[in-house]
């Protein structure tokens, strides 16, 4: 995974996003639908209709980057709001990209008892 600065603000664009959109289309969506500046250095995360793919838009001050991730099994957990934007931390984004519920993170590995 790409290491984002821990101080970066992460915004989830709730609702469905057309995953055919590229950098320019998603930046336009950030400006028009979310009312935010896509060049401010924040991360904007978009999820597709099926829920198995996300795209992350980020301007690091040098240029705009677009990251995509698709899960082989399962879906990304997402807020149930109709539209708008929700802020999460960079750590919660890391959990989400690993397929872990960031609202209730649990270890799935338990060591076997000795003896």
Q: What tens-digit pLDDT sequence spans the chain (115 residues)?
A: 567 777 889 999 988 889 999 999 999 999 998 899 999 999 999 998 898 999 999 998 899 999 999 988 888 888 777 667 888 888 888 888 887 776 666 655 555 666 5
Three-point CA angle 28, 29, 34, nearest 5°: 120
Cβ atoms within 10 Å of 27's Cβ, excluding its own = 19
H or E segment and range at residue 31: helix 23-32
Answer whether 104's CB lies under 8 Å from 27's CB. no
Which DSSP category does 54 fall into?
E
Instruction: Classify 94 as helix, strand or coil.
Output: helix
Question: What predicted TM-score, i.e. pTM, was given to this entire model?
Answer: 0.82
Partners of 50 in the β-ladder: none
């Amino acid at each position: 995974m790409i290491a984002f600065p821990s101080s970066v603000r992460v915004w989830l664009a709730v609702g469905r996003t057309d995953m055919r959109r590229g950098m320019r289309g998603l930046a336009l969506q950030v400006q028009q639908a979310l009312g935010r500046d896509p060049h401010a250095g924040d991360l904007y995360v978009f999820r597709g209709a099926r829920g198995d793919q996300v795209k992350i838009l980020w301007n690091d001050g040098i240029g705009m980057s677009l990251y995509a991730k698709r899960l082989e099994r399962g879906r990304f957990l997402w807020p149930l709001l109709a539209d708008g934007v929700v802020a999460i931390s960079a750590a919660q984004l890391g959990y989400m990209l690993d397929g872990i519920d960031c609202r209730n993170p649990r270890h799935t590995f338990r060591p076997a008892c000795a003896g």
